[in-house]
Structure 1
């Protein structure tokens, strides 16, 4: 019986083998893998030396493309592992070494076999120039040499891999700033579109500022503070993105294109009857500005004014008298005998969360102007409380000033602000500050990573920027220290911030 079973099994195996032998075997599929992509000078007039793309071994080809190359009109040479493949770029047929294509954005490359029954997919990501968006402003060579007079111009933005382009947009441009305008060769600007415009992913608006970041050789201090503000309870903090600026085809270096600190539906929101106030120096206000001088504050700081940035009102108007009276009443209570009373004291006038966060961010950064001098913003909507913010102007912060004690990591600075120092006499306010400080102190690792990531992003840009301005390793007002390399400047910022937070941790 056992022999019969063995014989049957043998016959079954042989039968299966016969079926396999008789079956049609699949043919080997021909591979059409991409082995190389390049841009050759003989095919591209703007290419001086052949550019061969790097391959990550998976599906992405990358390269850095010089500024003089016409990245939006290039003819590629694509080598396949086998002849006969059919190529598409961004879904359109591509004839190798013939078809010009726009490589300014991420390009999807797909290779099909001869009957298009199979395909291989790749991505081409080219970094143009420094990798930052490129802003070209043309004024027909009319110089932009005034903070008061706009010059008409045309703006083109190459957004690169991450942002949308803007083509031939009519704008106006003028200078901006105070010390940054008068003391430094790399000038800051303000631009104004004809209508509200979305740029670099930021909410649409008409006015934008181009911060030169000349005295801040890390070019990080404003951006770092914007990040802190975004983490805070402040209603609004400006944001900005780095760009390469070309003015009348001349490279001006790396700028931070940022939102302007102003009333707007996408910026400081104060409704129909609210106020945006900037504490500033009287010598710096414009002739058309409307301001007032609170009795108590200006007894201490007699050169300061409270400049009404919004709304547009006149002296003696009901709106003017309302805000002037409200601030005077607030100060009278703040410096009155019952100021700590939860209901009748200063707390009835102010949004404590915004005051605490505004103070801590400025004290951490030891912002020289925030003690009393300028760029101190707050809002007031009738029927609501006074709120601090937005944050503004941090290039002379984090130790980057040589004419004040705010350069040192130890010691308080903004705590001596007239309003803040009085609030610290209230144990309730001090307790809020101490509790909230832990939030920022525990974020030091995040801040350091943000500095590392952002400085790495700027690495190529800073080389071109300092190639133009030659400001590394030399004194630039008001640097207390300066270093020969960008990396050393960044390291100093990180060390200063860490030491500053550690000193404050001992106090709070």
Structure 2
């Protein structure tokens, strides 16, 4: 359990705090915020052993971690390991980081766990796309949607910018809650794999990576693979009793989150999580990875017009099923107001980042950059980036209303 401590500490003028501790066993990790001042968000301070650089997604580097508030530390110094995370996102100048604490920590009121992700959101100049999607999933009563908090990160005494601290997707009681055995699975539709991933190819040429069990037995892998292949064969044939295979309500909700956002990764390419337990239907989720969504594409901006998710993967066949299609239509009618509310809330949510965005774009002056990957959009200000997101979602709702 993370113990929140109260400290009375004298800071430099204008709340510019510079802390010093012993290198081997510090009481405080140094924080110099004279250039990037407090901006109404918690600050995470991380120092790796010997200031080692995070060079890949495999090497776990021992490190120290501390949370700062406005003018003083708000946690003990904690031990953890850090490494790179993500595929394309790790190749960016402002990269994402995987955290694993030595002991489970409850961060900002979120349930205790050892594993957390710091998502850079560098492609998303509003910095809101992942956050609003996880909130939308929760509002739509998804079984589990990752909890998250905006923070600012100082890594090895260098300001790294605004990050989203997110619960790492894993099987655990307060995350993806499955019965832990050899016939319960969390797996991911993916386009890339690492050397230690457990992957299999399906009948419809999908690459799936088994995330749980961590080291499945061969018979467990074959059990899941066979079940997926039989499902895909019957699904593509059009002769299938859907309720025997999938949780239809769950699939419909997941479909609409991907369709509404026009998530590029949500076209059944990668970051698509699915769960299955023997004698139960497939379930979709949790939703994950929306930095190329709501108008942001891989090489250009995307229009709020046209269908997207229903053209790809399993959904390509599901929407041809009358039972599924009727529930898709009804879900939009029943829940349209929540999508409208999300759009209306974008401006108010962005207020959380008004001050921090000044630090972010001082550190990474990319607002007007739309020429060099990974950026495809250009804005004159942070407000313009937020307004663009809100305008896109408004137009998306209108298009769906007219073409459902």
3-state secondary structure, aligned to 2:310: helix
Residue number in structure 2 paired with 1:33? none
Runs (4 or more) in structure 1 with deviation over 3 Å come to: 44-48
CA distance, structure 2, for counterparts of residue 170 and residue 337 of structure 1: 53
Task: Report the CA distance shift for 1:383/1:370 in structure 2 as closer, same or farther (over 3 A).
Answer: same
Kept in 2, the 8 Å contact 1:135–1:156? The answer is: yes
> Which of 224, 234, 254 is matched with 1:323 structurally?
224
1:305 and 2:207 matched:
yes
- Give the SS at the match of 2:343: helix
Q: Given the alignment, which residue of 405, 426, 438 partners 2:321?
A: 426
Residue 244 in 1 paired to residue 152 in 2? yes
User: How far has the Cα of 1:314 moved from its partner?
Assistant: 4.4
Q: Which runs of 5+ in 1 are unaligned?
A: 1-43, 49-64, 71-127, 299-303, 340-344
**With structure 2 as the length reference, what TM-score do the two structures score?**
0.88
Give, in angstroms, the shift of residue 69 of structure 1. 7.3
Cα deviation for residue 67 of structure 1 reads 3.5
Inter-CA distance 444–337: structure 2 relative to 1 (3 Å threshold): closer
How far residue 402 of structure 1 moved from its aligned partner, in angstroms, is: 4.8
Aligned to 1:382: 278
Matched with 1:175 is: 84
Q: Find the aligned partners of 2:317 and 2:51 in 1 and give their Cα distance.
A: 53
Residue 165 of structure 1, CA deviation: 2.9
Could you tell me whether the CA contact under 8 Å between 1:444 and 1:498 is conserved in 2?
no
Q: What SS is found at the alignment partner of 2:208?
A: strand
State the alpha-carbon separation in 1 of the partners of residues 239 and 18 from structure 2. 70
Question: In structure 2, how many angstroms separate the alpha carbons of the residues matched to 1:389 and 1:259?
Answer: 14
Task: Tell me the equivalent position of 1:148.
Answer: 58
Partner-residue secondary structure (3-state), 1:253: strand
What is residue 130 of structure 1 aligned with on the other side?
39
TM-score in terms of structure 1 length: 0.70
Deviations 1:223-255 (A, max 9, x none): 010011101243211121011101122111111
Q: Which segments of 5 or more consecutive residues in structure 2 lack a partner in the other structure?
A: 1-8, 20-36
What SS does structure 1 have at the residue aligned with 2:111? strand
Whether 1:201 and 2:150 are equivalent positions in the alignment is no
**C-alpha distance in structure 2 between counterparts of 1:318 and 1:245, whole Å:** 43
Match of 1:174, SS state, is: strand
The answer to whether the 8 Å contact 2:66/2:75 transfers is yes
- Taking the TM superposition and a 5 Å limit, the aligned residue runs for 1:371-410 are 371-403=267-299, 407-410=302-305
Q: Distance in 2 between matches of 1:414 and 1:176?
A: 25
Residues 504 and 166 of structure 1: CA distance in aligned 2, closer, same or farther (over 3 Å) = same
Greater length-normalized contact order (CA 8 Å, ≥ 6 residues apart): 2
Residue equivalent to 1:294: 202
User: What are the equivalent positions in structure 2 for 1:466-481 lying under 5 Å apart?
Assistant: 466-475=361-370, 477-481=373-377
Measure the CA separation in 1 of the matches of 2:226 and 2:298.
38
| Deviation sequence 1:53-95 (CA, Å, 0-9, x none) | xxxxxxxxxxxx533378xxxxxxxxxxxxxxxxxxxxxxxxx
Structure 1 or 2: more strand by fraction:
1
Q: Are the counterparts in 1 of residues 242 and 248 from structure 2 also a CA contact under 8 Å?
A: no
Contact 2:47-2:155 within 8 A present in 1 as well: yes
1:453 aligns with: 348
1:68 aligns with 2:10: no
Shift of residue 486, structure 1, vs aligned partner: 0.3
C-alpha change, 1:444 and 1:390, in structure 2 (3 Å) is: closer
Q: Could you tell me how far 1:371 is from its partner in structure 2?
A: 1.0
**Match in the other structure for 1:436:** 331
Structure 2 partner of 1:333: 234
Q: 2:176 aligns with which of 254, 268, 275?
A: 268
How far apart, in 2, do the equivalents of 1:170 and 1:69 lie? 21
Q: Distance in 1 between matches of 2:180 and 2:67?
A: 34
Report the secondary structure of 2:190's partner residue: strand
The answer to whether the 8 Å contact 1:173/1:190 transfers is: yes
Distance change in 2, residues 1:233/1:326 (3 Å): farther
Q: Once the two structures are superposed, what CA deviation does each residue of 1:119-165 show, in whole Å capped at 9, x if it has no partner? A: xxxxxxxxx8101011111114222222110111110112569xx93
Structure 1 equivalent of residue 22 of structure 2: none
Provide, for residues 21-62 of structure 1, a one-character-per-residue CA deviation record: whole Å limited to 9, x for no partner: xxxxxxxxxxxxxxxxxxxxxxx97444xxxxxxxxxxxxxx
* 1:428–1:160 distance in 2 versus 1, CA, 3 Å: farther
Corresponding residue of 1:165: 74
